[in-house]
Every structure is written in structure tokens, then in C-alpha cells.
Amino acid sequence: MINDPTYLTRLRIPTVENPLRILVSGCLAGHSCGYDESSYGEYPVVQKLLQSKRVKAFPFCPEAFSFGTPREMCDIHGGNGEDVLNGKARVLTESGTDWTEGMIKASEKMLELARIEQIELAIMMDTSAACGSLVIYNGNRFAPNKIYQIGSGVCTAQLRRNGFYVISQRDYASLEIVFQKIEVSHQPDEKAKDHHETEWFKSYFQKP
């Protein structure tokens, strides 16, 4: 597991009066804040979770905050989100514009929201240079030989270094634990896997 595996099992049992406070990528909440003004498709498990009366969702799109919508696509070059925060990697758009400063400001805004709203969990869209939580692109995703790397986007890195717990829309085993918290009668899917447990992840990152 990429972060503390006991965190979710230790989450409190939320109620309608005191719902679980979840920060979520705006696009995962269905907002048309993607670079192309889409929401990058539907993620039924996340949407079902956010519809629960025992969940209070706080959607936020860090890239829309700093760069508006529509906008160029961007990726991290020379490292991951943590490296960007440490001044060792850059965020560049597909045309080469440097968005590093704006992305760091967006991460600070997201952190401010998480603190003000006393977020208990964040669910972020994976592979995004901002929101990625496990897998991101290594350089330009539109390059002919696009490459993935293990790492967080800039905003997820900012949340994590400040103590917030982040999962992605692909962490189905983790989402099952959250469902058990918000609905005691929920029957967990024992076959559900987090993204790092999938065959794709293992085969891609175990390549020689």
C-alpha cells in the first residue's frame, strides 16, 4: 500500500448528522472541469459514494483554479509531484509552457480547503499531474512513447505531506472499506483490488 493501510479501517462511523468529509477531484464529482471541458467519463463507484447521505463531498479542481477551463494538458517533467514541490521537477503543458508556479499555488489552495473543511479522506483522479495519487505520466503523455511512473501529482503530494489520506478512483478495495463505514449492511466485494494490486500495475512496473 502506498500509504498507511490501517487509516481507512480506523475511520469513524459517519452519520447523516455528522457525515464523512471527503475532498474529491472536481471531475470525479461530475464537474466539467477537465482540460477539454469534460469530466473524463463516469466513475459509478465514486458517484455512488458521494451520493450517500453520510458523506459530505467537497469537489475541487486545482487546474481549473489556476489555469481555467478549457486549457492545455500538462504533465510533470523530471520527477513527480513531490519533486515539483521540492523545486526539482517542472510542470509543462503540451506546448511547453511552464505551469509549475500555478500548479504549486493550486496545491496550496487545495490544502487550504482540506484544512478549513477538516477533510477526513481525499479521492483524487489518478494519472493527473495535479491529482494523481499512484500513477502519473513521466513527461508528455502525448509523446509517441508515453511512459508512466509511480508517484503523486503535485496537489496530492501537497495533501500527503500535510497529513491527509488520499486514494484514487481506482482503489476499489479501499473504496469498499469506506462503503462499509457509511453503510453497515454493505456486503464487501472480497475480490476488489486497489490499483497497485492489479495485473496491469504489476506487469508494467515490473518490466526489466
Query: What minimum distance in Å lies between the beta carbon of 191 and ligand SF4?
Result: 27
Smallest distance, Å, CB 35 to ligand SF4? 7
Q: Does 50 bind ligand SF4 (CB under 6 A)?
A: no
DSSP string covering 7-33: TGGGS----SSS-EEEEEEGGGGT-S-
Specify whether the CB–CB gap between 42 and 28 falls below 8 A. no
Q: How far is the CB of 109 from ligand SF4 (least distance, A)?
A: 12
Q: Does 63 bind ligand SF4 (CB under 6 A)?
A: yes
Q: Respond yes or no on whether the N-terminal peptide bond of residue 208 is cis (omega within 30° of 0).
A: no
Grid coordinates representing 142? 502525448
Give yes or no for residue 125 binding ligand SF4 (CB under 6 A).
yes
Q: Secondary structure of the chain: what % helix, strand, coil (to 5)?
A: 35, 15, 50
Closer residue to ligand SF4, CB minimum distance, 89 or 103: 103
Only one of the segments 74-82, 125-133, 143-151, 157-165 lies at the binding site for ligand SF4 (rule: CB under 6 A); that segment is 125-133
Rounded Cα–Cα distance for residues 123 and 41 (Å) = 16
Is residue 114 classed as helix, strand or coil in its secondary structure? helix
Does residue 130 interact with ligand SF4 by CB under 6 A? yes
135 binds ligand SF4 (CB under 6 A): no
Residue 33 is a binding residue for ligand SF4 (CB under 6 A): yes
Cα(64)–Cα(61) distance, rounded to whole angstroms? 5
* Binding of residue 136 to ligand SF4 (CB under 6 A): no
Residues 10-29 that bind ligand SF4 (CB under 6 A): 25-27
**Largest separation between any pair of C-alpha atoms in the chain:** 52
Q: Is the distance from CB of 80 to CB of 136 less than 8 angstroms?
A: yes
Residue 62 within binding range of ligand SF4, rule CB under 6 A: yes
Q: Applying CB under 6 A, which part among 58-66, 77-85, 114-122, 164-172 lies near ligand SF4?
A: 58-66
Gap between the terminal Cα atoms of the chain: 22
List the one residue from 128, 133, 140, 168 that touches ligand SF4 (CB under 6 A): 128
Footprint on this chain of ligand SF4 (rule: CB under 6 A): 25-27, 33-34, 61-64, 125, 128, 130-131
